[in-house]
């Protein structure tokens, strides 16, 4: 993987395509670097100029006093390839191509990008772009602003990787004068060589970065992306907005970047599996990023609300429950301590409503008590502009001794004007990220809690039971006239992967069927088992509820007669006889191959739930035990899994094992393009989920 | 209903309980009035002072030169009742009681509030409060700030009614220096006399108010609230945050105000029926209010996105689809015009990505073309800080001729710093409400579209078919030993209200049953029909799938024997025989009485959908045709209504009529406390939804 050290922490930079002309791209870029007091050396390459913006120029690469760590190419697209060649010959390995006019314009641009990639690979170059806005690094030892932007970035600990350069600039603009501060920004542009995962890998070791945020339009190498994320997420939260969630968004995105759209049904599960916390809006993502960068993670979901007004406390309570958090039950001793210092009209349970008379001393004392409460993991601290003689600034100042090293999460909500008395600088100094509304603070807190859980999951991943790889032999398509996998092959595959199937026999012989029925109690089900006949039920080749040998024989005769008409004379019709299960919970599993993501696993409720209501969950196969149980949690018709009528609650743990085994099956058998186990029935009788019907299709052979 | 004219537009005000002491409640109140240059007369009542803050005082009410329009009581709670008495004796009819210490503190406070209400009623007083923050009216002809708040309210056209005084102050504070401007603010406090609906009624005629917003913790008189809203909504949008949506929120709310919690399942449907657009967060409510106050309503859901950067355009597209709007399909002629002026790399379909080179002229020209497009109802106009020689301010200035009187909705998204070049004042002058993120602009636009539809619905309400009132005779509970309504009574009630029931006979006689079976083809269903036996199935007193007279007779004998054991000897068991329907879509209707809201109507899918998944919708009965169809749209398992397997799509219009009739039944029969029609089966055979089972309970008699 490309090492981005010299791209993101360059000690010297050559600028290719910089001129003295005011307003030109190159001049702007140079001026932006100068404005941030870059700590390294700058070498503008321009044979026609002595100096630009006071920096001495060099006529070409050969005259440079040293080999620069990084070169930035700002030339019109038609000159870029030659410049890359020269850089390659001079063994300059780290290059940013800002120039546009590549893949994003299609046609000759696509061709030009191909050549660019070939050149970069030939010279072993780390290349960022083309068609990118550059990057910056606010680390004081680097202090490099390579983004044209006249607005100096707010320094801080949030890294931002954006597939849209404009959404980089826009966020920097909106973040100016707020408490959203950045460590690193990288505009990835067309991602010709360096992609999101390369930057994420750099961030893992970047001490100045505490939180990674991404604006993504496409994921191009899912395997690497997931690999890098699953390491990074153990140390730092990864937050993302993935645009193109909807059909409208996807159309807009593909006209923007020309990138292949990632199907949303895959993306949802994939990002979860990668440990990425996903957001619908940039605003919510950066709200969570501010909170994560400033405050410790909550150790649990129990939240105290401390407020000087009732209304916002109620709104916070509603939001807590809505976002999966809880109002902490305060310890009795805390309530007693609060009662001792608060007026009679105050509410001393949670939310703690100190009422409008609360001043900075009240805030201090209450926070001290609440933060010491063993049941409290986090505090939403609400300040409505107080009518009494105090200010938010004074309140914040006074809080310091109570909150210092308390180890609990505190998110303040400041419902007051941002004037001098608001004390925004004090909140910032105390690492308290300020929110304007209780609901947005709660949302951010819920994402912090989600990250805590995600991180725990990845810490434990080593211990999570994974099915042993089987590497079972690939199935062979013996008959090329149809693509269905024979029933017996499916059955032995299921057996190999320890996926339980309802008791059955596969035979052309009525006597064997009667023997089966005698061994297992009636009723039974009889089905044709021939890969040429796909719509068994429609053809009248399935019969349920067979209660006696006579009924079985009658069904057999009728079905055999029908099957003869559908099959070539040479083919002896084979039948599947199964024990009929009592009514139970119907589940389904499916597998499908995606060209980019590989084996896609589907799990859902059977019957109309999969067929009409599409209540399903997807993941990339194989999955571990945690992921399998998470899929179950994603189903909308959740209540059905918890038992109803005479059906006991599904043994989630046991079914998750079945999901795991099946996921291994599909990932180890790429010769199968699609496979469905539907229904899988969970009943009180068996206390087990048994496959009742299965079908599979061979992938088109490419020989 | 109280007339609030003199409370909200007072020409003279007496202040009861005002002193010279700096920082005192009264002094603060007076100073706030003075700061906004109140246009009327102010009479501070204080026998000990000559003047306060330069305003001459009066020793008592009798010495006043005129009878003031309004009196504001700022005294400690224990002096309030006496003051009210004096005001009443002086025939001062309009009073604001700011003082706290009433119902909200419980105990003696509750008693004090009762006495306050009695006094106010005795003197025919319009009383706002107690325990309220007052009100303001920014209408230049009034200019009255009666809220203590030193922050002058931003004048504008949004009215805000808040049950939490603090959430009034907080919003004023946060709105300072934004484009959220207020016409009227009213803190309703304990709502002892004047309630939300009284203020809403005033707003109907207040020309300065274009949008009404509410922060509600409780609704105390649902009938009046709905009556007022359903008039107001035809003229002005009504937006609300109703706190206490969740159990946590409800607990917090009831400890705050001591008000009875409104059950959320009722509230959701009730607010829809009232025409109120509901929000989860204050921020989203005021975003929508700003947009509604400034821009015309969209005539349709088709939106053009105009942008100088791709990324935000994609985010806007995702948000449009997510919030029920559409990317407009631009006319060919528009696309051609755009192609003629935009660079090759630009995207001329929707979203229109003009790319970064767009300057103020480009914005003007593109907007002119797009606004003239017949397919475009609204525009999301995105400005990322442009790298070229222009500024957002210049862009806005230049837009004026293109957007003036265009009649279409324009919501700008300004992703740039709020510095001088941003031109916030220009946007304001052009009535363009500025958003920071595409997603929030789209959310606000979707609410504008929702209001347009709501308004249309109320305009059409007169024309909406309503079932004629029947005023059928109340059922009489003849046997007081059990509360179940006899089957025959339920059946005749359903018949009266034209609710179709599956063909049936009600008889104790096997011969009549056989005759029924001969008339209607088998299979049939036999059930006990006795109001003492509630769990028919569990008792084995239901048999399905009876195919012949023999089977029927056997079933009858068996069930009769069982029934004998359960019933007194004197009672001849009655049976219900019904035609058995083929498999169809199972629906259910229910009715229940709520002490505050009256008859509550429930509609849902039957079977596990109602029993396990709780997929249901509620309304206050009776409902009109529109409301009934809207209930159907609310079901989560929507796809089932659209037809599947052999079941044709539900005739929504026909079923909505059934819902209407049933809603009339429950609202006209308060003697029934609970009634369930479950299942109601819709099948291909009948192309009708037929009631298959029904049960009802008498309300407890209060005689």
Give the pLDDT confidence of B229-256 residue by residue, as tens digits: 999 999 999 999 999 999 888 888 876 6
Predicted confidence (pLDDT) at residue A465 exceeds the cutoff of 80: no
Contacts of A165 in chain B (CB under 8 A): 309
Restricting to B residues 186-225, those with a Cβ less than 8 Å away from any Cβ of A are: 215, 217
pLDDT per residue over A82-124, tens digit each? 999 999 999 999 999 999 999 988 889 999 999 999 999 999 9
CA separation for the pair B451, B458 (Å, rounded): 11
Give the CATH number of the domain where residue B524 resides.
Answer: 3.30.1490.20
pLDDT at B259: 58
pLDDT per residue over A687-697, tens digit each? 899 999 999 99
Please tell me which of the candidates B104, B248, B417 has its beta carbon nearest to residue A320. Answer: B248
Where do the H-state alpha helices sit in A298-391?
Answer: 310-322, 332-341, 360-371
* Distance of residue B76 Cα from the nearest chain A Cα, in angstroms: 14
Whether B491 maps to a domain, the answer reads: no
pLDDT at B619: 96
Contacts of B169 in chain A (CB under 8 A): 384-385, 387
Reported as a pLDDT band with limits 50, 70 and 90, residue B299 is very high
Question: Same structural domain for residues B455 and B332?
Answer: yes
pLDDT at B75: 94
* Distance of residue B110 Cα from the nearest chain A Cα, in angstroms: 13
Restricting to B residues 143-162, those with a Cβ less than 8 Å away from any Cβ of A are: 148, 151, 162
Mean pLDDT of the region B345-369: 94
Q: What is the DSSP string of B73-141?
A: E-S-HHHHHHHHHHHHHTT--EEEE----SGGG-THHHHHHHHHHHHHHHTT-EEE-SS---EEE--TT
Predicted confidence (pLDDT) at residue B286 exceeds the cutoff of 80: yes
pLDDT at B512: 95
Please tell me which of the candidates A166, A281, A356 has its beta carbon nearest to residue B384. Answer: A166
Reported as a pLDDT band with limits 50, 70 and 90, residue A126 is very high
Please tell me which of the candidates B173, B256, B351 has its beta carbon nearest to residue A310. Answer: B256
CB of A281 within 8 Å of a chain B CB? The answer is yes
**CB of B84 closer than 8 Å to CB of B116:** yes
* Distance of residue B420 Cα from the nearest chain A Cα, in angstroms: 13
CB of A246 within 8 Å of a chain B CB? The answer is yes
CB of B313 within 8 Å of a chain A CB? The answer is yes
CB of A557 within 8 Å of a chain B CB? The answer is no
CB of B637 within 8 Å of a chain A CB? The answer is yes
pLDDT per residue over B473-512, tens digit each? 888 887 777 789 999 999 999 999 999 999 999 999 999 9
* Distance of residue B508 Cα from the nearest chain A Cα, in angstroms: 31
Mean pLDDT of the region B106-126: 95
- Check A416 against B644: CB less than 8 A apart: no
pLDDT at A650: 96
Whether B498 maps to a domain, the answer reads: no
To 10 degrees, the CA torsion angle through A119, A122, A125, A126? 80
- Check A385 against B173: CB less than 8 A apart: yes
CA-to-CA separations, A678 to A586, A598, A604, A635, in angstroms, rounded: 8, 22, 10, 16
Predicted confidence (pLDDT) at residue B460 exceeds the cutoff of 90: no
Please tell me which of the candidates A100, A251, A439 has its beta carbon nearest to residue B283. Answer: A439
pLDDT at B60: 94
pLDDT at A522: 85
Question: Same structural domain for residues B316 and B375?
Answer: yes
Contacts of A309 in chain B (CB under 8 A): 164-167, 170
pLDDT at B23: 80
Question: Same structural domain for residues B241 and B351?
Answer: no
* Distance of residue B515 Cα from the nearest chain A Cα, in angstroms: 32
Q: Cα angle vertex A361, ends A355, A365, to 5°?
A: 85
* Tokens found for residue B596: 């505050």
Question: Same structural domain for residues A412 and A316?
Answer: yes
Predicted confidence (pLDDT) at residue A471 exceeds the cutoff of 80: no
Reported as a pLDDT band with limits 50, 70 and 90, residue B467 is low
CB of A104 within 8 Å of a chain B CB? The answer is yes
**CB of B415 closer than 8 Å to CB of A170:** yes
Predicted confidence (pLDDT) at residue A604 exceeds the cutoff of 70: yes
Question: Same structural domain for residues B136 and B21?
Answer: yes
Mean pLDDT of the region A68-80: 96
* Distance of residue A166 Cα from the nearest chain B Cα, in angstroms: 6
With CA atoms as reference, the chain B residue closest to A320 would be B248
Reported as a pLDDT band with limits 50, 70 and 90, residue A260 is low
Q: Which of A243, A271, A291 is the last residue of a domain?
A: A291
pLDDT at B702: 54
Contacts of B354 in chain A (CB under 8 A): none
Give the CATH number of the domain where residue A382 resides.
Answer: 3.40.50.261
Q: Is A47 helix (H, G, I), strand (E, B) or coil?
A: coil
Contacts of A162 in chain B (CB under 8 A): 311
Q: By residue range, what is the domain housing residue B558?
A: 503-579
Contacts of B614 in chain A (CB under 8 A): 639
- Check A281 against B246: CB less than 8 A apart: no
Average pLDDT of chain B is: 92
Restricting to A residues 587-626, those with a Cβ less than 8 Å away from any Cβ of B are: 608, 611-614
CB of A312 within 8 Å of a chain B CB? The answer is yes
To 10 degrees, the CA torsion angle through B220, B223, B225, B227? -170
Question: Same structural domain for residues A246 and A341?
Answer: no
Q: Which of A250-259, A536-545, A669-678 is the most confident on average?
A: A669-678
Mutate to test the interface with B, among A249, A261, A349 (most CBs of B within 10 A): A249
pLDDT per residue over B486-496, tens digit each? 999 999 999 99
Query: Measured in Å, how far apart are chain A's first and last C-alpha atoms?
Result: 33
CB of A538 within 8 Å of a chain B CB? The answer is no
pLDDT at A22: 84
* Distance of residue A524 Cα from the nearest chain B Cα, in angstroms: 22
**CB of B172 closer than 8 Å to CB of B153:** yes
Question: Same structural domain for residues A320 and A394?
Answer: yes
Burial of B121 (0-12, 13-18, 19+ CB in 10 A): exposed
Whether A470 maps to a domain, the answer reads: no
Contacts of B644 in chain A (CB under 8 A): 608, 611-612
Predicted confidence (pLDDT) at residue A15 exceeds the cutoff of 70: yes
Whether B73 maps to a domain, the answer reads: yes
pLDDT at B257: 60
**A283: nearest Cα among A149, A417, A447, A451:** A447
Question: Same structural domain for residues B319 and B415?
Answer: yes
Reported as a pLDDT band with limits 50, 70 and 90, residue A625 is confident
Whether B493 maps to a domain, the answer reads: no
pLDDT at B482: 74
Reported as a pLDDT band with limits 50, 70 and 90, residue A290 is very high
Least confidently predicted of A683-687, B54-58, B281-285, B689-693: A683-687
Residue whose pair of structure tokens reads 């009943």 in the numeric block: A683
Least confidently predicted of A558-562, B337-341, B440-444: A558-562
Mutate to test the interface with B, among A134, A253, A318 (most CBs of B within 10 A): A318
Contacts of A614 in chain B (CB under 8 A): 639
* Distance of residue A382 Cα from the nearest chain B Cα, in angstroms: 11
pLDDT per residue over B201-215, tens digit each? 999 999 999 999 999
pLDDT at B149: 78
Mutate to test the interface with B, among A77, A103, A166 (most CBs of B within 10 A): A166
**Total count of domains within chain B:** 4
- Check A384 against B169: CB less than 8 A apart: yes
Contacts of B440 in chain A (CB under 8 A): 281, 283
Name the β-bridge partners of A501. A691
H or E stretch covering B198: helix B196-204
Mean pLDDT of the region A209-231: 96
Whether A548 maps to a domain, the answer reads: yes
Mean pLDDT of the region B371-395: 92
With CA atoms as reference, the chain B residue closest to A245 would be B318
CA separation for the pair B152, A472 (Å, rounded): 76
With CA atoms as reference, the chain B residue closest to A388 would be B23
CB of A640 within 8 Å of a chain B CB? The answer is yes
Q: What is the DSSP string of A112-163?
A: HHHHHHHHHHHTT-EEE-SS---EEE--TTT-EEES--SSPP-EEEEEEEES
Beta carbon pairs, A and B, within 8 Å = 256
Question: Same structural domain for residues B286 and B301?
Answer: no
Predicted confidence (pLDDT) at residue B684 exceeds the cutoff of 90: no
Please tell me which of the candidates B23, B105, B353 has its beta carbon nearest to residue A389. Answer: B23
Predicted confidence (pLDDT) at residue B332 exceeds the cutoff of 90: yes
CB of B636 within 8 Å of a chain A CB? The answer is yes
Question: Same structural domain for residues A149 and A229?
Answer: yes
CB of A298 within 8 Å of a chain B CB? The answer is no
pLDDT per residue over A158-171, tens digit each? 999 999 999 998 99
Restricting to A residues 447-476, those with a Cβ less than 8 Å away from any Cβ of B are: none
Q: Is A186 helix (H, G, I), strand (E, B) or coil?
A: strand
* Distance of residue A493 Cα from the nearest chain B Cα, in angstroms: 31
Predicted confidence (pLDDT) at residue A39 exceeds the cutoff of 70: yes
Please tell me which of the candidates A100, A312, A351 has its beta carbon nearest to residue B166. Answer: A312
Whether B480 maps to a domain, the answer reads: no
The rounded percent of chain A whose pLDDT value lies above 70 is 97
Stated length of chain A: 703
Question: Same structural domain for residues B545 and B561?
Answer: yes
The rounded percent of chain A whose pLDDT value lies above 90 is 78
Whether A560 maps to a domain, the answer reads: yes
pLDDT per residue over B170-191, tens digit each? 999 999 888 999 999 999 999 9
CB of A60 within 8 Å of a chain B CB? The answer is no
- Check B170 against A309: CB less than 8 A apart: yes
- Check B345 against A104: CB less than 8 A apart: yes
pLDDT at B392: 95
Q: Which of A427, A459, A491 is the last residue of a domain?
A: A459
| pTM, two decimal places | 0.94
pLDDT at A258: 57
Question: Same structural domain for residues A594 and A534?
Answer: no
pLDDT per residue over A133-148, tens digit each? 999 999 999 999 999 8
Q: Which of A579, A605, A636 is the last residue of a domain?
A: A579
Q: Are strands B302-307 and B326-327 parallel, antiparallel or unpaired?
A: parallel
Average pLDDT of chain A is: 92
């Amino acid at each position: 993987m490309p090492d981005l050290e010299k791209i993101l922490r360059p000690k010297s930079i050559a600028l290719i395509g910089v001129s003295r002309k005011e307003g030109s791209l190159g001049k702007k870029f140079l001026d932006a670097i100068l404005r941030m007091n870059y700590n390294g050396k700058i070498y503008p390459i321009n044979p026609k100029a002595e100096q630009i913006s006071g920096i001495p120029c060099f006529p070409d690469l050969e005259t440079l006093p040293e080999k620069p760590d990084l070169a930035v190419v700002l030339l019109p697209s038609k000159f870029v390839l030659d410049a890359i060649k020269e850089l390659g010959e001079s063994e300059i390995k780290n290059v940013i191509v800002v120039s546009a006019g590549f893949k994003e314009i299609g046609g000759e641009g696509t061709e030009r990008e191909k050549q660019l990639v070939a050149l970069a690979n030939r010279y072993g170059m780390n290349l960022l772009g083309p068609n990118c806005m550059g990057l910056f690094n606010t680390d004081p030892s680097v202090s490099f602003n390579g983004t044209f932007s006249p607005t100096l970035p707010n320094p801080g600990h949030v890294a931002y990787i954006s597939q849209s350069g404009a959404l980089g600039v826009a966020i920097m603009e909106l973040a100016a004068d707020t408490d959203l501060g950045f460590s690193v920004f990288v505009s990835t542009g067309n991602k010709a060589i360096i992609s999101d995962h390369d930057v994420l890998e750099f961030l893992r070791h970047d001490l100045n970065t505490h939180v990674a945020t991404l604006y993504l339009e496409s994921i191009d190498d899912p395997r690497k992306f997931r690999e890098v994320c699953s390491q990074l997420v153990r140390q730092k939260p990864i937050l993302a907005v993935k645009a193109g969630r909807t059909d409208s968004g996807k159309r807009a995105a593909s006209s923007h970047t020309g990138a292949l759209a990632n199907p949303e049904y895959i993306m949802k599960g994939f990002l979860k599996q990668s440990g990425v916390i996903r957001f619908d809006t940039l605003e919510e993502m950066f709200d969570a990023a501010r909170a994560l960068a400033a405050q410790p993670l909550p150790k649990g979901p129990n939240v105290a609300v401390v407020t000087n007004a009732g209304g916002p406390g109620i709104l916070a309570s509603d939001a807590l429950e809505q976002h999966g958090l809880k109002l902490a039950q305060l310890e009795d001793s805390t309530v007693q301590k609060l009662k001792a210092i608060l007026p009679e009209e105050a509410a001393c349970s949670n939310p703690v409503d100190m009422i409008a008379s609360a001043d900075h001393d009240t805030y201090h004392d209450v926070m001290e008590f609440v933060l010491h409460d063993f049941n409290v993991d986090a505090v939403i601290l609400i300040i409505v502009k107080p009518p009494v003689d105090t200010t938010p600034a004074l309140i914040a100042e006074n809080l310091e001794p109570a909150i210092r090293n308390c180890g609990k999460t505190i998110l303040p909500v400041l419902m007051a004007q941002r004037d001098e008395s608001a004390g925004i600088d004090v909140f910032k100094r105390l690492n308290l990220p300020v929110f304007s509304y209780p609901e947005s603070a709660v949302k951010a807190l819920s994402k912090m809690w989600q990250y805590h859980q995600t991180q725990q999951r990845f810490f434990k991943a080593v211990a999570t039971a994974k099915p042993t790889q089987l590497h079972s032999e690939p199935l062979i398509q013996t008959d090329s006239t149809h693509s269905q996998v024979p029933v017996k092959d499916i059955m032995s595959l299921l057996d190999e992967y320890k996926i339980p199937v309802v008791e059955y026999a596969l035979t052309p012989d009525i006597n064997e069927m009667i023997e089966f029925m005698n061994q297992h109690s009636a009723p039974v089900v009889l089905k044709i088992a021939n890969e040429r006949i796909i719509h068994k039920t429609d053809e009248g080749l399935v019969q349920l509820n067979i209660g006696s040998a006579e009924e079985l024989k009658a069904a057999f005769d009728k079905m055999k007669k029908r099957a003869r008409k559908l099959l070539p004379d040479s083919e002896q019709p084979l039948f599947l006889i199964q024990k009929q299960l009592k009514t139970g919970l119907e589940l389904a599993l499916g597998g499908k191959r995606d060209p980019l993501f590989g084996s896609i696993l589907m799990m859902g409720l059977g019957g109309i739930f999969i067929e009409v209501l599409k209540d399903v969950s997807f993941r990339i196969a194989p999955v571990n035990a945690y992921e399998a149980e998470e899929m179950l949690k994603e189903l909308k018709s959740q209540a059905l899994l918890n038992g109803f009528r005479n059906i006991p609650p599904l043994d989630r743990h046991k079914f998750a094992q079945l999901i795991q085994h099946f996921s291994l099956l599909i990932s180890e058998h790429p010769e199968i393009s699609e496979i469905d186990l539907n229904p899988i029935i969970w009943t009180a009788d068996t206390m087990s989920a048994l496959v009742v019907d299965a079908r599979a299709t061979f992938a088109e052979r490419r020989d």
